[in-house]
């Protein structure tokens, strides 16, 4: 009997074709959602803390939408940089049917109707104080009053043509209210992707620059976003959102919460998405700029980690780069 084992696991890794054949996880452009920032300003305005990412005018966003289709990316996610003059304590621009978000949705649907459009439902791009909801005199975000406004926001987005509304505010009970309003409005096929486990993270800084809320934010968001120490609470949040009518759920941020993704998928067996957030993107780009890593390998490896943990898809600013790598 040979001293070596009969089974050598390296056998199946010895050639490229065999590695492809034995791959347990598959990543394709269809797994990607591309977040885009729209503004009223110039065609493209680079975001200093997000190298390679820009705020874009509506015509430029339409170009990006066409690019997504050409790359096989099935869906884009829209986030507005609302002009300062339109921001207010009550965030009323959020439910203006002719606001920047709604005009962008209509332009995309006119140009590329078969591309999925996901829209953010939260008030932080519209409030003068930078919070995701309405605040009282003490600065506390009011749950029920905010949820009522979010219903109006989701309604105007659906009427403009949004395919998926994605409440990212973390108010209790808002999924059920939004689902009821969509059904009553005849928007039976508009999906809800609930940001169910959104943590009060230090990885959101560049995003707040992109939507113009970083300098406005008074205090923090710890009274409504989740404590990074908690995992069981994430399962409770997901269970509630599913019971209220969410079609899919999201964990945000991504890589620091792979354990949460895995637990949610294992517990509920529903479509789970992750947001590879701005800080995660910026760290990869910083590593590349410093010569500490190679972009192609880092992008694919991190996206594969999300899929391996159980994600149906990933929101990532690297979506077009990854799609080019993955396309034959």
Would you say 75 and 116 are in contact if contact means Cβ atoms under 8 Å apart? yes
b vs e for 44-67, b when ≥16 Cβ sit within 10 Å of the residue's Cβ? Answer: eeebebbbebbbbbbebbbebbee
Nearest 10 degrees: CA dihedral of 259, 25, 73, 40? 20
**Which DSSP helix (H) or strand (E) runs through 264?**
helix 258-268
Catalytic-residue membership of 221: no
Asked if 62 contacts 103 with a C-beta cutoff of 8 angstroms, the reply is: no
Of 60, 61, 96, the closest CA to residue 78 belongs to: 61
Question: Which of helix, strand or coil describes residue 307?
Answer: helix
DSSP element (H, E) containing 149:
helix 143-160
Write down the catalytic residue from 60, 198, 221, 265.
Answer: 198
Per the residue annotation, which of 60, 221, 252, 307 is the catalytic one? 252
Residue 218 known to be catalytic: no
| Burial (Cβ within 10 Å: 0-12, 13-18, ≥19) of residue 301 | exposed
Are 322 and 282 a contacting pair, CB within 8 Å? no
Please answer whether residues 264 and 309 qualify as being in contact, where contact means their C-beta atoms are separated by less than 8 angstroms.
Answer: no
Q: Where in the sequence numbering do the catalytic residues fall?
A: 198, 252
């Amino acid at each position: 009997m040979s001293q070596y084992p009969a089974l050598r696991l390296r056998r199946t890794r010895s050639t490229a074709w065999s590695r492809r054949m034995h791959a347990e996880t598959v990543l394709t452009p269809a797994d990607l959602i591309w977040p885009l920032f729209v503004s009223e300003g110039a065609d493209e305005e680079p975001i200093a803390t997000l190298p390679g990412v820009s705020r874009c005018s509506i015509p430029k966003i339409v170009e990006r939408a066409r690019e997504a289709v050409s790359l096989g990316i099935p869906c884009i996610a829209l986030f507005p940089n609302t002009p300062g003059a339109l921001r207010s304590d009550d965030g009323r621009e959020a439910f203006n049917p002719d606001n920047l978000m709604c005009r962008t949705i209509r332009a995309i649907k006119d140009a590329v109707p078969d591309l999925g459009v996901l829209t953010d439902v939260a008030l932080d791009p519209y409030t003068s104080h930078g919070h995701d909801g309405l605040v009282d005199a003490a600065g506390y975000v009011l749950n029920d009053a905010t949820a009522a406004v979010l219903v109006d926001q989701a309604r105007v987005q659906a009427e403009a043509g949004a395919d998926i509304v994605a409440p990212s505010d973390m108010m209790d009970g808002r999924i059920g209210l939004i689902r009821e309003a969509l059904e009553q409005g005849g928007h039976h096929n508009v999906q809800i992707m609930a940001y169910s486990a959104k943590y009060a993270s230090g990885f959101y800084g560049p995003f707040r620059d992109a939507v113009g809320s970083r300098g406005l934010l008074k205090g923090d968001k710890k009274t409504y976003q989740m404590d990074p120490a908690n995992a069981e609470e994430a399962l409770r949040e997901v269970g509630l959102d599913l019971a209220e009518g969410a079609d899919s759920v999201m964990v945000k941020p991504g890589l620091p919460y792979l354990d949460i993704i895995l637990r949610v998928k294992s517990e509920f067996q529903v479509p789970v998405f992750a947001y590879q957030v701005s800080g995660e993107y910026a760290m990869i780009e910083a590593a590349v700029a410093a010569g500490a890593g190679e972009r192609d390998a880092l992008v694919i490896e991190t996206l594969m980690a999300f899929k391996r943990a159980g994600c149906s898809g990933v929101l990532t600013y690297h979506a077009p780069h990854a799609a080019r790598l993955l396309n034959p």
